[in-house]
Amino acid sequence: MEDLKIKRVCGFNVSSIHFSVMILPYINKELEAEKNIITILEGNLEKNIQEILSKITLNNEAKEKIKNINWKATDIEKDNIEKCLKQILTEEKDLSFIVYGREKYINHVNEKIEKTIKKYEKFLVNKNITITNCYTIDDFRENIREILNKHEAMFNTSGEKKIEDIFTDYYSA
């Protein structure tokens, strides 16, 4: 996959509402960049997203675009990531995967994304792909460095940053 431009970003959240608040500005920025957004979520976030959108200042067009994103839980054994990706291969837009859940779920989803990207690599060469993994922090303790080493950047409530800008003592091994 050397010709592909894949960027890996991570984020950490303490609850589904925290994630929802954190992800909306990030999603809005991705939409402004005219990216296709594919959400793969361990939990259903529709209610959270609707509630937050009703309380924030954002133009109606942007709110509608965000509402039209799939915020339902994804059963990665039943829902077909490959089918979803195939549907948008012909579009010129770049891709942004948003993966939310516990570490085990995210790792499994990333394996499926990698296999699918590899299978359709020739159709994706001129696209930028961002995979944003949003970890629920109640799931891990000591392996944060391992998670960070798999990503180029991370996002939090202040937006996307270099990992070393957030964790000043972080040095990728």
Whole domain around residue 49: which residue ranges?
5-166
pLDDT on residue 3: 63
Does residue 163 have a pLDDT over 90?
no
Total domains in the chain come to: 1
pLDDT on residue 32: 92
Asked whether residue 62 is domain-assigned, the answer is yes
Average pLDDT score over the chain: 85
At 142, which CATH number?
3.40.50
Asked whether residue 102 is domain-assigned, the answer is yes
Asked whether residue 172 is domain-assigned, the answer is no
pLDDT in tens, 61-92: 999 999 999 999 988 777 677 777 777 776 77
Asked whether residue 112 is domain-assigned, the answer is yes
Note the residue count of the chain.
173
Q: What Å distances lie between residue 19 and 25, 97, 145, 155, CA to CA?
A: 11, 15, 20, 11
- 45 contacts 20 by C-beta, under 8 angstroms: yes
Asked whether residue 171 is domain-assigned, the answer is no
Asked whether residue 173 is domain-assigned, the answer is no
Percent of the chain with pLDDT over 90: 39
In the chain, the N- to C-terminal Cα span, in Å, equals 22
Asked whether residue 129 is domain-assigned, the answer is yes
Does residue 1 have a pLDDT over 50?
no
Q: How far is CA 34 from the centre of its chain?
A: 15
Asked whether residue 30 is domain-assigned, the answer is yes
Which are the contacts of 76, defined by CB distance < 8 A and separation ≥ 6? Answer: 40, 105, 108, 109, 112
- 77 contacts 16 by C-beta, under 8 angstroms: no
pLDDT in tens, 52-69: 999 988 889 999 999 999
- 39 contacts 74 by C-beta, under 8 angstroms: yes
* Sign of the torsion formed by the C-alpha atoms of 25, 28, 32 and 35: positive
Nearest one of 165, 2, 7, 14 to 98, comparing CA atoms:
7
Segment 109-133 shows an average pLDDT of 87
